[in-house]
Structure 1
Amino acid sequence: MYNLEGLSALSVDIYRKNNDFTEYSSQIDESIEAFCLGLNRVAITSLMPCIEGIIREIGIKIGISCEEHVNVKQFVNILKKIQQKIIANIVFYGFDWVPSDFKSISLHDGFNEQIQMVESLKYFLNNGLYQHTASYQGSTNLNRNGVVHGFITNFSSQVNFYRLITVLNMLYVCSVLTGNEGSLFHPSASEESKLLEKRLASIIIFKRALNGNA
């Protein structure tokens, strides 16, 4: 899913085309290129403002006023509202009346995959990426405030880059669930994505040459 073919397809057919992502798609592309060059710290830190910007776009679209800096409380409120929209507009679409206790997020978290996906994103934000740095005890060192403000410096694993790409993909699903057109399946390779894949492959070859491994 996250090999060069997969990343290229995600970039071309999701990040560049979704209305909530388009403003940040160039920066996401640059982050992927930095990752291919082995500049993991640059790649990871440059994805973080994209995540904040995208969730702000989604929040505004569903009627939540966002401050310039999206804090974890706002982030979670946006995700809760998305879950409520899923329950009202998808699960109970066409129903004239539904008992109030049937609308609870906790109830649907027991069996609804869309609700569970958003719930897992909420958990990761609360207990990792956006957790207060003083309380953060995660083993990944992927904590937004700790990284951005220089409290955490050993965050540059490849897996952390993939974690943030996964956050982007989950936000894409949220965007689709709130009304943007798009498929929830992983995109297939296209002629345009194949061109990007070749570019990324050439960047990796260049990195190896710089490191004397050509």
Structure 2
Amino acid sequence: MKYEKTLKSLCRQPKLSIIQIESMFRKRNSVEVTVTPKNIGRDGFEIETDEGVCFVTERPIQFLNNKWGRVTKLQERMLDLAIPVPLYMGEGTVVEDIYRINNSDNPTLEANLWLHESFTAEIAVAYFNKYLSVSESFKEYKSIIFEAIEAYYFGLDHIAIMSLFPVFEAGLRNIQAKLLNSDVGNVSTEQFDKGIKELLLNWGSTRFPEYIWYPGKGYNTQVEIDFLTHVNPQCDVINAFRLFFKHVLYKPSNANSSLNGFNRHLVVHLLKNDFNEPSNFARLFLALTQITFIESLHNQDIPFFWPGVDENDKKIGNYMRTLTDQFFAPRRKVLKEQGICEYP
């Protein structure tokens, strides 16, 4: 693209104007271009050239990253808490709650309590009924997922959490195989991360087919991802999931010890045995829902927007609560007597 150097230079300017853009093209390329203000989620300009239409943001991408709230930015604030962004809650509510948690005396404890209170049996069942049961990525594992929910409300935290890790990996592998024609036998963390990026970039590029160039396209993947998270909400959510996957769930287990055992490598290989914190079930279950969100962009059977809890969800939710009341509560005494495990 013969105007790329000029376009890159424009993207580095503190604030662009029509006159500035026209002047730079005259000076650097000796051509006249037609510039039109356009908001595609962020303010910017369409530039008509003899090669096609380009788009530049009014402000540099880094400025936008620092100024504007995004799901990506929210997820960054939730990484130390090892929580994926819950898509069934309003963004404003989550932002307020996470701010409070991060500024508390014990953020980890507060985060665990928040998950326990906000991720109810009805929410889990609604996701199972409306998302996971109709998902092409998870349809083979419905029994495992339902049994994991039951195990959680039985109080079998180790079993509930461990059973969802292979389901998560299988679902992620399936969605990438379907949409990217990737290897159905892949178990590589690097390939999973690469695939999530590719899903994001593919979706973003199809949203703006009219532009032959926009920030990052074809020359800087990170800039392109940042740009797309500002102008396309779906790309923003996918990128937030990518951050959680890379920096929490599949983070190298020797990177640090702050994940409280919530890490795929630590759990599967039992390198640590502290992953049975009950709220880790909610963390992993929410990660499954992020995969169904990606699938919802291509599978009309999966709701794009959270449909809420219906009467059937409440009915099965009551069944799950019964498991806790009738089995888990009495079980505490037996476990304590055997010196196996104590629950609060």
TM-score (norm. length: structure 2): 0.56
Alignment-mate amino acid for residue 202 of structure 1: T
* Other-structure match for 1:114: 234
Indicate conservation of the 8 Å contact 1:20/1:57, yes or no: yes
Pairing 1:1-214 to 2, within 5 Å after superposition: 2-66=119-183, 68-89=185-206, 91-92=207-208, 95-99=209-213, 101=215, 103=217, 104-177=224-297, 179-181=298-300, 182-206=302-326, 207-211=328-332
Indicate conservation of the 8 Å contact 2:293/2:304, yes or no: yes
Please list every run of at least 4 consecutive aligned residues from structure 1 whose deviation after the TM superposition is greater than 6 angstroms. Answer: none
The offset of 1:111, in angstroms, is 4.9
* Other-structure match for 2:28: none
Mean Cα deviation higher: 125-134 or 37-46: 125-134
Distance 1:125 1:102 in 2: 23
Instruction: Provide the identity percentage.
Output: 25
Aligned length: 208
Q: Give RMSD over aligned pairs.
A: 2.0
Q: Which digits, 9 at most, give the CA deviation of each residue in 1:12-43, with x for residues without a partner?
A: 11111122121112111111111111111111
Query: Highest relative contact order (Cα 8 Å, sep 6+), 1 or 2?
Result: 1
Distance 2:186 2:163 in 1: 16
The offset of 1:134, in angstroms, is 2.2
Greater helix fraction, Structure 1 or Structure 2: 1
Indicate conservation of the 8 Å contact 1:27/1:46, yes or no: yes
Structure of higher CA gyration radius: 2
The offset of 1:148, in angstroms, is 0.7
Q: Can you give the 5+ residue segments of structure 1 that lack an aligned partner in the other structure? A: none
CA gap of 1:7–1:113, structure 2 versus 1, over 3 A, is same
Secondary structure at the counterpart of residue 134 of structure 1: coil
The offset of 1:160, in angstroms, is 1.2
Greater strand fraction, Structure 1 or Structure 2: 2
Distance 2:186 2:161 in 1: 19
TM-score (norm. length: structure 1): 0.87
Q: Can you give the 5+ residue segments of structure 2 that lack an aligned partner in the other structure? A: 1-117, 218-223, 334-344
Indicate conservation of the 8 Å contact 2:125/2:317, yes or no: yes
